[in-house]
Chain A
Amino acid sequence: MGIEQKLGNLGVATTTLEQAVAWSRTNAMWPMLFGLACCAIEMMSAQAAHYDMSRFGMELMRPSPRQSDLMIVAGRVTRKMAPVLRRLYDQMPEPKWVISMGDCASCGGVFNNYAIVQGVDEVVPVDVYVAGCPPRPEALIHGVLRLYEKVQAMKFAEVKS
C-alpha cells in the first residue's frame, strides 16, 4: 500500500513542495468539455468504458471553465469560434494547460481555406499537440500522460501567479 510504506513508524514523509504540488495537480486534472467536431467523438470514446480516462484522474468533464484546469481543444476552430475560444481560455483560473487534439487544432489539418484557423496556437498557447485525424483514444491518453510529465517537471519560478 503506497503511502503507508513511505510513512514508516513515525508517520512522517519527506518530499519537495514541487513534487507534492505536481502530484496533486496531475492526479485530479479536470478537463473542460470543449469538443467541437469529429475529435470530440474520440474524446468521448476515451472517456467511456473501453479506454477509461478516469484512471488518470479525469473522472468528470466540467462544462464550466471556472471549474476546470485543462482545455482539450478537440476539433476544427473556425474564425467565428476563435474569439469564443479565447474568452473561455481567459475565464479559466490559473494554473491551466491546453492540449490541442487532432490535426485541425494543431495545424489546420485537411482544411486550408478561408474559414479555418490554421492551428489553435494562433489563439491560445498550447502545451501538448496530439496528432491524428482523429487521434485514437490511446493517442489522446498518451498526450495526457506527456502533459503530466511536463507538469511534474514544472518549477515554481515558471508559474505566474
Chain B
Amino acid sequence: MPDIQEITVQDLKHLVSERAIQGETVLLNMGPQHPSTHGVLRLLLELDGETVVNCIPDIGFLHTGIEKNMEAKTYAKAEVMSDRLDYMNTVGNNLAYALAVEKLVDLDVPARAQSIRVILAELQRFASHLVWLGTSALDLAARSMFLYCFREREYILDVMEMCSGQRMMTTYIRPGGLWRDVPVEFEAAVRDILKKFPKRIDEYEALLTRNPLMLDRTYGIGKLTGEECLNFGVTGPMLRASGIAWDLRKDRPYCGYEQYDFKVPTRAEGDVYARYLVRLEEMRQALKIVQQALDKLPLGPVRSQNRKYVPPRRSEIGVSMEALIHHFKLWTEGFAASKGAIYSAVESPRGELGIYLESDGGPKPYRIHWRTPSFDNLQSLPAMSKGVLVADLVAIIGSVDIVLGDVDR
C-alpha cells in the first residue's frame, strides 16, 4: 500500500508567500480527518502565529469515479449512483438526473408526479439546511443546535421512508415520473410537519440570530462581493447573500415551479452572518412551497405512459403481452436515446447542480458530467481566508456548506 507522501515547501513554492520559504511562517496541515472540515477535506495553512496567510485546499479524498462508473450502466441502473454524490440532497440529485434524461429523450411527465417531486425536493432542501445549521453551529460551539436539528430531521426522514422504504438514498424520482404513488399517510404526515416546523425555526432564531457570541464570530467575516462570486462561479445561497438574486427555480423554472409563489431571499453584505440569514429564510420559503403544492395536488397517474422508456406497472404484466415485452426489454437492454448532448440544471441547496449528458445512440450514457456546486464554491475559500484567524476560518468553512461527495464526485 502506498505511503503517505510528505509535501515540502519547495513543492508548493508557487502557491505560498516568500516568508514560508524563509521559514518565518509555519505550514500546517488541517488534515483530512478533522472535526470542522465537514468531511475529508485537507487544507494546507500557512500560518503567521494565529493568522492565516495562505490557505491551499487539497481535495480528492472522496473521489469515487462515479462519472466513469455510470458510463458502464444503463440509464435506469445508473440512477442509483446519483444519490451518493451529494448525500445531503439525495432527492435533489435524483430529480436532476430524471430531468436530464427526460430532456434527452423528450419524455412527458404527468402533473401529479411534478407536484410530488416539488414537495419532496423542498423537504429535502429543508433537511439539508438543518444539517448545515446543526453542524456549523456545532463548529461555533453551540452544541445543542446539533441535537435540535437532527430531531427535526427525523420527521422528514420518516416521510421519505414512508414513500420509498429508504431514509436517505431513495431513488424514488425516476425518469418518467415516480416509482409509485405516495401512500395514504403521506398527506397527514406532511401537514403535521407544516404545522410544527415554523415554531421550531422561531426557536432557532431566538437562540442564534441576535446572540452576541454568534454576531461576534460571524458578522463581517469572510466577505465576498457579488462580482467576485460570479468570477469564482459561486452559485446558491452564497451568491444570494452577496446581493445577486439568481435562483434557478425562479429564473429558469423546471418541474412546475412557476406556479408557486415564493420569495428568493437576498442580502447585500456577503459575510457569514448574511449567509446564515439567507439559509434560514430559505427554510421558511421551502415550507411555503410545500404548503402550496400540497393544497393544489392534482389527481392522476404518477408515471408517463410512454412504454418505450418507462416500465409498466407490475400488475399489468400478468394480463398484457405488450407490457411483458416492454418490461423485459427495458430491464435487460435498456432504452436507447438518440445521439446528441444536453445540459440541464436544477437548484440544489448548495447552488446550481447541472448535468451534461451525451448519448451516442446506445442504451448507456456515453458521457455524463455532474457540475456540482460545492466544487466551485470551495474555490472561493482561499480568497475569503486571507488574513483571518484560524477560528474564523472554521466559521467560514461552515458557511460555504460544502459536501465532500459533491466536490470530489
Interface residues of A (CB under 8 A from B): 33-38, 40-42, 44-45, 48-50, 63, 75-76, 78-84, 86-88, 110-116, 123, 133-134, 136
Minimum CB–CB distance from A77 to chain B (whole Å) comes to 9
Q: Does B17 sit at the interface, judged by CB under 8 A?
A: no
Is there an interface contact between B1 and A83, defined as CB atoms closer than 8 Å? yes
Is there an interface contact between A113 and B69, defined as CB atoms closer than 8 Å? yes
- Beyond A36-B39, A111-B66, 12 additional contacts (C-beta under 8 Å) are A41-B131, A48-B147, A48-B151, A63-B33, A63-B34, A86-B1, A110-B80, A111-B65, A111-B69, A113-B68, A134-B167, A134-B168
Binds A, one of B55-63, B268-276, B312-320, B359-367: B55-63
Interface size class of B (residues with CB under 8 A): 35 or more
Minimum CB–CB distance from B365 to chain A (whole Å) comes to 15
**What are the residues of chain A within 8 A of B168 when measuring CB–CB?**
38, 41-42, 134
Is there an interface contact between A49 and B405, defined as CB atoms closer than 8 Å? no
**What are the residues of chain A within 8 A of B88 when measuring CB–CB?**
41
Q: Which residue of A lies closest to B86 (CB)?
A: A38
**What are the residues of chain A within 8 A of B309 when measuring CB–CB?**
none
Interface string of B44-80 (1 = CB under 8 A from A): 0000000000000000111111101100000000001
Contact among A35, A50, A86, A111 for B150, CB-based, below 8 A = A50
**What are the residues of chain A within 8 A of B154 when measuring CB–CB?**
45, 50
Q: Does B81 sit at the interface, judged by CB under 8 A?
A: yes
**What are the residues of chain A within 8 A of B60 when measuring CB–CB?**
78, 80
Q: Does B146 sit at the interface, judged by CB under 8 A?
A: yes
Number of A-B contacts (CB under 8 A): 100
Interface of A is mostly: loop
Is there an interface contact between B64 and A116, defined as CB atoms closer than 8 Å? yes
Is there an interface contact between B84 and A44, defined as CB atoms closer than 8 Å? no
Q: Does B280 sit at the interface, judged by CB under 8 A?
A: no
Q: Does B220 sit at the interface, judged by CB under 8 A?
A: no
Which residues in window 207-246 of B have CB below 8 A to A? none
Is there an interface contact between B69 and A49, defined as CB atoms closer than 8 Å? no
A83 to B1, CA, bound (A): 7
A35 to B87, CA, bound (A): 13
Minimum CB–CB distance from B155 to chain A (whole Å) comes to 10
Is there an interface contact between A133 and B33, defined as CB atoms closer than 8 Å? no
**What are the residues of chain B within 8 A of A80 when measuring CB–CB?**
60-61, 63
A156 to B2, CA, bound (A): 34
Minimum CB–CB distance from B150 to chain A (whole Å) comes to 4
Is there an interface contact between A36 and B62, defined as CB atoms closer than 8 Å? yes
Minimum CB–CB distance from A51 to chain B (whole Å) comes to 9
**What are the residues of chain B within 8 A of A63 when measuring CB–CB?**
33-35
**What are the residues of chain B within 8 A of A44 when measuring CB–CB?**
146, 150
A115 to B33, CA, bound (A): 19
Is there an interface contact between A81 and B40, defined as CB atoms closer than 8 Å? yes
Is there an interface contact between A78 and B33, defined as CB atoms closer than 8 Å? no
